[in-house]
Structure formats: structure tokens, C-alpha cells
Structure 1
């Protein structure tokens, strides 16, 4: 391992640089931010020197603790200066490096889209620049006095970093994590020519994908190890149905590809200590959860009724998430005045309009909030009786894990990480005390409706059974520690692969 001087007190164990386009609490649009914010902390707590690098969005820079300008980085063709700002996470000692490039990252909107929801037209340039800086830092930037043993890149926005490092003699081992294969970073050939990547990367063995450039292929092809975020999703993406056209490549890389289930941070997601909810509770005081339900009903303007069956959803409004299935089944369920539904989401305008119309039609039963608010997300998890996740596919999913912890049984489609984390409430699993939620087999309105009716029947017909179901879910351990240990093993395998490769002939550079 590299023994170069360290600007921070060094820990024993591995040196890991985690690269991500977002990380909670600095900036968040989805589950990637939760993972990128939690995994370095979990690695640090296991004794490893884990650090995070991400773009220098203004919102992230404002929250960085003990921040200072470290150095300027030379990037050929960059529009304006590119600096490294170093600091620490707001609530932890994990070091953070921000890529301060105002021409690329100082914008209104979220990391990927403008205020109208359209992708930034220069996303290829923005995240190529980010990947170039990540690659430079990973290869050893003198001003840092630190070099990682492993670069851990995440999703398409960082996927070019392993490609850019390929052929660099002293590069670290590389790991690439696919959080959602449906988002690949696809651009046309003209964009490839414009942004100045080596011409050798335009090949089937490089970034070319059906006459387009695929950022995500950079990570899959060139990283020493590749993984995705649940064992079942790792199987699904190697099939035609789930592979988004990359199933052949993922089968081809064989044992280099695996699935590691995400964890969640129980310091943030724990109903016994959560400062964002009205009433703290745990398994022994489960009855106190009802206070959060009444508070949530008040917040959304619903009928305050402890006996109502209150369902919730937090997430994006896209086809993948199955909101159309919820919209298909709700009108029938809402004929029962004691069924309620709250949603916090944003995304496709037609789905927003349909949800708003339903809330307007039944204001005492349906509450909607568009956009993302962390506090409200916690209150929905704590206040609902059940949580809906009818995703057509779900690489891992985090909300079902939050729901389990909060005693809010999830109702989910049997796919990806949902299948890996929820135990269906059948007669045998209920009798054995193993059930934690409800799974349905096909992403259809009929199948979701059947699962909802089963849940409602148990909730009303067997309150003790429902309580047992909820408490069993609360006892399940999906903390980051186990997931982090799995990543450490993956890093060690990548390092071993790298050593084997360098003990023979050097890698051939892509150009």
C-alpha cells in the first residue's frame, strides 16, 4: 500500500476514495446520496481511511465543515479554474474533497437537471471533468499527500474515472458500483468527438454502445471489480429483461461482477431517537407510534383517525416506481372512508397531476407534497401503517429498509433488493414470526390490489398479528456495518487483481 505522507491522522487498514455525484447530507436527489454519505462513515468506523470526493455544488460547499482551498488542478480544455476544496462532513470526521469548478457545478437546479427538470445540455462535459479530477486525485495528487489503495466510483457520473486510469502504471485498484442500470449516461457520437476523449475508447470494447457513447460502460469494462446494490438485482441485470442492453457484457465479466446489499444509517433512521418525528418509540412502546400517525394526518389535512389504514409513499414519480399501479388501485380502495394515503414525490408531470386530482377529489383521505423534504420523509415513515413500493424493478431500495425499522410494513413487488429484504406475510411465515411485509409477484394493478387487501385484512382483523409483523421488521438488522464489511472484501479482491495484473505485463492504455 502507498505510504506517502498523509494530511489527516491515518487510520489502519485500507485507504479508500469514494467518488459520487451526490452525498447526504451535502446534497441529495435519491438513494445514491444516502449510500455515498453513509458508506465512508461505516468504513471509517471499521478502521479504514475512507474519503469522499464529489462536485462542488454551492449547497454542498455551504455545509462543508472546516473547509479550505487545497490546490488548483490542471484540466486541459476546462472552462475556468478547477480547484480542490477540502473539509469534513457536517457531522463526522470523514474527509471530503469538493471539485470547485463554478462553470460546471455552480447552477440553480439539482445536480443533473435545470429548474424545469430538463437535463443540463453539457452533462457529458460536466461529469467528464469530474471524472478527470477524480482520476488525478486517485493517481496521487502531490498537494494532498495521500493516495488511495482503492478508488470506489459510483454510477455513470463517475464511471469514466476507471477508464481514464486504465494504463496508468501506479494507479490504485478500482471498484465500480451500479446503483441503477437504467441510467447509463448515454450521449451521441458528436458529443464523444467534442469532449476530447481518446479515440481508442470509441469501440465495442470501450465506451461505444449501439453507436452511442455510454459512460457507464467505462466503469463496467475498466474497473477491477464491478458490483450492484443487491444480490437479486445482480442476477436480474444479467438477463435480457433487466439488463438494459448490457446483460451480455455483465455476463461476460463473470466473477468480476457481484451484488452487495445496501445498508442504512441507524443513527439517522431510528424511531427511538429520531429528532424529526413527534413521538419517539421502539418495539416495547410500539403503541406510541399512533401519535405520529395523528400528527401526519394533521399535517396533510386528513381526517384524524387512529383506526384508519394510512399508507405512504416517498420517492420519484417515474414509470420504474410503479406510481401508475398505485393510481390504478387507489380509487377502489378509497371507497372505504377509513383508508388514507400520503405521498411525497416529484417527477413526471402527468403523475403529479393525477395525484393532485385524487387529493382534490378526496382531500380528507389523500395528501400530497411535491419535492423532497427530509423531515417530512421521516414523519411519513413514522406515521404510516404501511409503505407502498410497487417498483417494476428496484436495484436495492432504501425506503423499505427505513419502513422496516419504523414498524411500517412495506408492500412491495418481488424484485431486486425488495425481494432480498422483505419476508412475505404468508400463513407459515406469520406463524413462525418471520414475516416482515407483503410481496406480490407481478407489477400489475390486480396483484398490488390483492396485496393491499391482504394487508388491510390483517390490520383490521388481527391487530396483534399486525403488531407482531411490524415489530419483527423493526428487529431486522440492515445497518451499514455488514454491508461495509462486504465492500472491504470487494476492495481486497480488487487490490489482489491489480497486483496480479501488475506482476505480469503492464495494462495496455486505451489511447
Structure 2
């Protein structure tokens, strides 16, 4: 069994902006059940400090060189179940209003990565494997291999690098190589870290890690192509024999219709029909929709961005308004999409509700009350929402891409198999045809709908199988070390 340090930009239960946080909140615990020792390290953001500072243990203090200055680092920790979470504190870099999106993000996360590398030395903690997640951590394998190669303690560490979303790459100017990362310029000249005239944290992670993973088998194949490769497909093809696609799971204790404290009526396979209708009526009342337990309620919980397929929906607004459904959308993102949905609600009060922002508690109630869950993504590395919806017997309607293709099996009217609905091409007519098909099954083939609900509830969306696959990956690395 391995000693593993996970390095990430965010993680539950402490802070979340996207699916990465769900993974960091659930995978380490699943791996400890496989017998591994897992620790996690992330920045100490303002929201974490405000809520947990009194509970954190002070571990050590040191400094790292950033922009030719020695910058202090303080490390804190907290146990969460069997997993130790470390936090890197720098108030100037991390105690801000949001996690990412600043002009100095490159400097901030160069500091974070340098601090993580030196933390090992300060704590005399030497994991077998450092598992890095997304661009925020992509330079760690490079920095260790290029600047600590004469130290046997660092040299013995193996690296896994997981791509959660290839579209966010951490690309910065070349001057950062020396000033913030302490790396020689020949790495720019020989192409190891060079990308688009600057440097890429993501590219470096892909090249320098011993194994590269991404969050579904289909996405692992898609990113080898120009359509999905985000200009890194050539680099990924160089590493394709070390590239693993391992689908995400969800925390099935947190997402559990039998015990979920956020929903008013609990249910399981036995009483889903009655209790789901009660949840629907309660949500309709809460959101100002017409109260009707028999109408098909379509839910959507998402960032409102181009990636998530909302431009397809915007091409079909008239058809969506005319369909015999109610529609609930929870999210925020591009102002153009937000404004369209505001207008849509204003013109269709009682039928369509747009809830701006993110509300975790409301998200649970939408999953529990909805009959169908809409997720027509342009691309989707894995996706968490379709897994949550199936856990609540809500059938996902998805485009066949990435993890959506791997986790949602379309309804087969002949053998009654499937746990949702899907369409192949990124085309708004295909989306609407599939929605009309789902509507027809819901209203006119009620027994089939019940079978599909049961299939969805029976789908294993836990981390158990994925944790076993990660264990195989770690075992392979350890055997070759």
C-alpha cells in the first residue's frame, strides 16, 4: 500500500468552485479504505480561514523564493476522518474574495507549489506518490525532477498528474520560469515547458509526471484529438501509453435520498413514486411554479457557460416554452446566458424558474424533485451532476461526450435497459428530439419510466470501483520504482 500526497487548488469539505473539489473531498477517503495512507494539501483561502482557523494545527514555518524575494510560508493541518489536510498560508496570495482569476495567478500558484515541495523537507514527510491535480499543481513534477534530482528523498517520489479540465491550462509569460519557479531557461529552449510563446503548467504536468490520468475513459480518448485536445493533443499523444481514464464517483453518504437533510421527503426504491411527487410539490411551492405533481419537471444545476451546452438550449427557447414541462435552472456564468434565462422566466412565470447563483441546499432539492436532468454539454471530462441525479432517481438527458457517455446508458425501449437519455451530435434539433422522446416516455409509457428510475437508482455512482483502479495505478508505479 502507498503513502500518497494529493495536491490540489480546492477541496471539500473546506471550499469548492467546481468538480475538482468533489473529487478531493471523496477520493482520499475511498483510497484509505483500500489501505493507502492519504494526505491532501491546498491553499488556505479566506473562507477556510474564517471558518476553521481555530481548529487548525500549526505545523511549521519557512520561506521560499518568489520574484527574487524570500516569502514566508506557514503550514497548518486538520484531520478530516482518516485524511490529514495541510493548508499553505499566505494572506496576500490566498485570502481574497475568490480562488482564481487574478493577474498574478501564476505567481500565486508558483508560490503554492514551491511551498508544497519544501514542506516535505520541513516536516520530514516523504510520500511514495505525489498526486497532482489540474494546472495549479502542474509544475511540481518538473521542479522536483529538475532542481531536486541530487536528493535521494525527492528522487524516490513518483508522480501522478490528473487532468480535470484540459481547457484551463495555467499558461503564463516566460519570465516566470526563473523569477517564480527557479527553473533554468533551457527548459524553454528545449520545449519542455514552452507553450504558445510562454510556459504552461498543464503541459509541464503532462510531460513530467510518471502517469497521467483524466476523469473518464472516453475523455482520455477525446483529448488525443484536435477537437478536444486544446492544442495539447500532440503532447498527450506522446504520453498516451501512460494515460489512464478513470471515471469519478460521488460521496454517496452526502448524496443519499434516504437521509439527505436538505430534502423534505426521503425515499428509496420502494417509495420513490409517492415521495418524489411530494418533493416536486414542495419545490414548485418554494420556487413559485404551478403546483402539479404530474407535470414533468426538468432540472438543471450548472455553471452557465458555453461548455455546458446552453447555446443549444438558447436556439430552442420557443420549443422549450411550448413543451409540456416545467423547467428549473440553478446557476451563474456568462451574462448573455443569464439574461436569456431571466427573460425566459419573466415571460413564463409558473412554468420556468431561473435561480441566479449557486445554492448547495437548493441543488439537493432540485435533484430530488426533478424527473429529468438536462446536461447537453459540448464537452464534459467527467461530470458530477448526472451521477447525483441518478442517485435521486432523476433521469439524466446528456450529450454523448466524455464522462457523460461513460456513465449514462440511453433508454432502450425493446429490452427496457438504460438509466437516462442521450444524443450524439452537438445539435439543438437532436437535443429537442431527445427531450420530446423523454417527454413521450414520461407521459405515455409510465411503466418504462419506473423501470428507468430503478435502473438509475441501481447505478453504482460511488468511488469504490474508481478507487480500486487508482490503487492499480499506484501499485504499478510502486512496482516500477
Q: Which TM bucket (shorter chain)?
A: over 0.9
Higher mean C-alpha deviation, range 289-298 or range 203-212: 203-212
Q: Which runs of 5+ in 2 are unaligned?
A: none
Within the candidate set 160, 163, 171, 1:186 is matched to 171
Partner of 1:116: none
Across the aligned residues of Structure 1 and Structure 2, the Cα RMSD in angstroms comes to 1.6
Partner of 2:115: 133
Partner of 1:264: 250
Partner of 1:490: 473
Higher mean C-alpha deviation, range 194-203 or range 233-242: 194-203
1:292 Cα deviation (Å)?
A: 1.1
1:333 Cα deviation (Å)?
A: 2.8
CA distance in 2, matches of 1:277, 1:473: 19
Whether 2:293 is the aligned partner of 1:306: answer yes
Tell me, yes or no, if the aligned pair for 1:64 and 1:87 is still in contact at 8 Å.
no
SS of 2:303's equivalent in the other structure is strand
1:256 Cα deviation (Å)?
A: 1.1
Higher mean C-alpha deviation, range 215-224 or range 159-168: 159-168
Partner of 2:79: 88
TM-score by length of 2: 0.94
| C-alpha spacing 1:83/1:379, structure 2 compared with 1 (3 Å) | same
1:335 Cα deviation (Å)?
A: 1.9
Higher mean C-alpha deviation, range 207-216 or range 232-241: 207-216
SS of 1:270's equivalent in the other structure is coil
Higher mean C-alpha deviation, range 313-322 or range 62-71: 62-71
Tell me, yes or no, if the aligned pair for 2:63 and 2:71 is still in contact at 8 Å.
no
Q: How many residues align?
A: 470
TM-score by length of 1: 0.89
Higher mean C-alpha deviation, range 488-497 or range 276-285: 488-497
Partner of 2:309: 322
1:421-447: CA deviation from partner (whole Å, max 9, x where unpaired): 11111323xx2x421111101111101
1:49-72: CA deviation from partner (whole Å, max 9, x where unpaired): 111100001222323784111111
Partner of 2:23: 35
Q: Which runs of 5+ in 1 are unaligned?
A: 1-12, 113-118, 500-511
Partner of 1:8: none
Partner of 1:362: 348
CA distance in 2, matches of 1:313, 1:212: 38
Partner of 2:417: 434
SS of 1:255's equivalent in the other structure is helix
Tell me, yes or no, if the aligned pair for 1:80 and 1:103 is still in contact at 8 Å.
no
1:407 Cα deviation (Å)?
A: 0.5
CA distance in 1, matches of 2:3, 2:76: 19
1:80 Cα deviation (Å)?
A: 4.8
Partner of 2:277: 290
CA distance in 2, matches of 1:150, 1:253: 19
CA distance in 2, matches of 1:163, 1:469: 47
Whether 2:155 is the aligned partner of 1:162: answer no
CA distance in 2, matches of 1:260, 1:379: 29
Tell me, yes or no, if the aligned pair for 1:73 and 1:83 is still in contact at 8 Å.
yes
Partner of 1:148: 127
Within the candidate set 56, 59, 66, 1:70 is matched to 59
CA distance in 2, matches of 1:290, 1:374: 21
1:325-371: CA deviation from partner (whole Å, max 9, x where unpaired): 122224213224x4111111111111111111111111211111222
Map 1:39-438 → 2, pairs under 5 A: 39-61=27-49, 62-63=51-52, 66-77=55-66, 80-89=71-80, 92-108=81-97, 110-112=98-100, 119-137=101-119, 140-142=120-122, 144-167=123-146, 168=149, 169-171=152-154, 172-192=157-177, 194-198=179-183, 199-203=185-189, 205-287=191-273, 288-336=275-323, 338-428=324-414, 431=415, 433-438=416-421
1:290 Cα deviation (Å)?
A: 1.1
1:205 Cα deviation (Å)?
A: 3.7
CA distance in 2, matches of 1:80, 1:232: 42
1:145 Cα deviation (Å)?
A: 4.2
Tell me, yes or no, if the aligned pair for 2:126 and 2:153 is still in contact at 8 Å.
no
| C-alpha spacing 1:204/1:379, structure 2 compared with 1 (3 Å) | farther
1:250 Cα deviation (Å)?
A: 0.9
Tell me, yes or no, if the aligned pair for 2:110 and 2:181 is still in contact at 8 Å.
no
SS of 2:316's equivalent in the other structure is helix
SS of 1:53's equivalent in the other structure is strand
1:28-82: CA deviation from partner (whole Å, max 9, x where unpaired): 0110000011111111222211111000012223237841111113211367521
Tell me, yes or no, if the aligned pair for 1:230 and 1:395 is still in contact at 8 Å.
yes
Tell me, yes or no, if the aligned pair for 1:205 and 1:221 is still in contact at 8 Å.
no
Tell me, yes or no, if the aligned pair for 1:329 and 1:448 is still in contact at 8 Å.
no
Map 1:469-484 → 2, pairs under 5 A: 469-484=452-467
1:196 Cα deviation (Å)?
A: 4.7
